[in-house]
Chain A
């Protein structure tokens, strides 16, 4: 079967920044995403222990390359300074490209 090239954006951030990330996605007409709670260690110390509000979350979004630049630019500009957040982009192949506008 033919696979179409799209981008996978993965954002690992503190759980309280999840809403901000989703809001940015919605602003760019991206409604589909997958999020799950994670833990780990990073520049802001060991995360995922203790209070629920201090847990980390991983948000995965598949999108077309055209939108990607705008989305990551906005996430970087609005969230990088104040939140514990890491993002990276990878190439993935999907079968139904029309699902990921």
Chain B
């Protein structure tokens, strides 16, 4: 199957179709809406299911295997966040706050994207490593913490420069110290909020419970947490489609640069992620999920964290680009691309791709 066929067949899965349906419903101004309680419940359910599966898998594979991929994922997430910032600030000419907010939104992970990825793999009949759920939990706050720290450093540097020009500088205090003290209270709050936040709590809790109960204990609840999984994503994606559809007009306002950024950056991060994961020895599906972790942007957790930590940044920029552009692109186009790349580097689809390329050349 070549890549266009894969994208095409992915387009016709219920998940993607219902997402597009949600967008259409919003565009024709239908009053269709998933009730609040359900759209708040579904992310919790999805994370619980992801966590349980992860925990059960980890019982079989042990913890040792996850250490290196987790460290690499954290390192890459930090590196990518810095890279995003440079691109946004220098090439995109965004202000400092918007640049850091966007950089961390794209450095962070999207739990919904992750769920869609799992169900995509299920559809392809491929499994992935269970410990990726634990990486999802750990990766969630990393990019935000870095961005908040750097923003506070930059702000205190500005204040210092202003003071210097006014001639009232206290030379004993370095930028770093000022940045650190400014950041401390802020970071403590953010750390506390993200670690005790519902996403991480339910994810870690379910991983531990999954680890304890194992396959046997899971069989009694598998009807809810296994068989209903894809169906639940479908319902949630109607809601996501509606919200994305309501924001379609805003996409024009974010500008050509940010639109291209929201497509090129995830592609770059994702493909690099797939390649690195393959080098680390992850399976075909595992490499896709690893890439997806790095490609996805956060749109549920990001506003909650960033509105407090970097209130100067415009939420319309980071929510619209993450939910309106990157999320649809990731689940419709990038997932099949990464799957293809992963198949090629895992030497399973190489012949197909070779044919595809050679046909293209001739």
Show the binding face of A for B, using Cβ within 8 Å.
14, 16-17, 19-20, 49-54, 81-83
Find out whether the CB atom of A53 lies under 8 angstroms from the CB atom of B246: no
Find out whether the CB atom of B304 lies under 8 angstroms from the CB atom of A53: yes
Contact (A16, B246) CB under 8 Å given A52-B40, A82-B311, A83-B311: no
Find out whether the CB atom of A54 lies under 8 angstroms from the CB atom of B246: no
Contacts of B90 in A (CB 8 A): none
- Residue B36 at the A interface, CB < 8 A? yes
Task: Specify the main secondary structure of chain B where it touches its partner.
Answer: helix
Q: Which of A16, A49, A52, A81 contacts B307 (CB 8 A)?
A: A16
Q: Which of B303, B308, B311, B312 contacts A51 (CB 8 A)?
A: B303
- Residue B300 at the A interface, CB < 8 A? yes
Contacts of B335 in A (CB 8 A): none
- Residue B243 at the A interface, CB < 8 A? yes
Instruction: Provide the bound-state CA to CA distance between A47 and B4, in Å.
Output: 39
Q: Which of A16, A81, A82, A83 contacts B304 (CB 8 A)?
A: A16
Find out whether the CB atom of A16 lies under 8 angstroms from the CB atom of B308: yes
- Residue B292 at the A interface, CB < 8 A? no
CB distance from B158 to the nearest CB of A (A): 16
Contacts of A49 in B (CB 8 A): 243, 246
CB distance from B160 to the nearest CB of A (A): 21
Find out whether the CB atom of B319 lies under 8 angstroms from the CB atom of A51: yes
Q: Which of B36, B246, B247, B315 contacts A52 (CB 8 A)?
A: B36
Contacts of B39 in A (CB 8 A): 52
* B1-43 interface code vs A (CB 8 A; 1 in, 0 out): 0000000000000000000000000000000000010011000
Closest 8 CB pairs of A and B: A16-B307, A82-B311, A50-B243, A53-B303, A53-B304, A82-B312, A52-B40, A50-B246
Find out whether the CB atom of A54 lies under 8 angstroms from the CB atom of B308: no
Find out whether the CB atom of B243 lies under 8 angstroms from the CB atom of A53: no
Contacts of A51 in B (CB 8 A): 243, 299-300, 303, 319
Instruction: Provide the bound-state CA to CA distance between A19 and B307, in Å.
Output: 11
Contacts of B247 in A (CB 8 A): 50
CB distance from A40 to the nearest CB of B (A): 16
Instruction: Provide the bound-state CA to CA distance between A17 and B311, in Å.
Output: 9
Instruction: Provide the bound-state CA to CA distance between A44 and B339, in Å.
Output: 40
Instruction: Provide the bound-state CA to CA distance between A82 and B297, in Å.
Output: 23
- Residue from A17, A19, A20, A50 having most chain B Cβ neighbours under 10 A: A50
Instruction: Provide the bound-state CA to CA distance between A83 and B304, in Å.
Output: 13
Instruction: Provide the bound-state CA to CA distance between A16 and B40, in Å.
Output: 16
Residue of A nearest to B315 (CB): A54
Contact (A17, B307) CB under 8 Å given A52-B40, A82-B312: yes
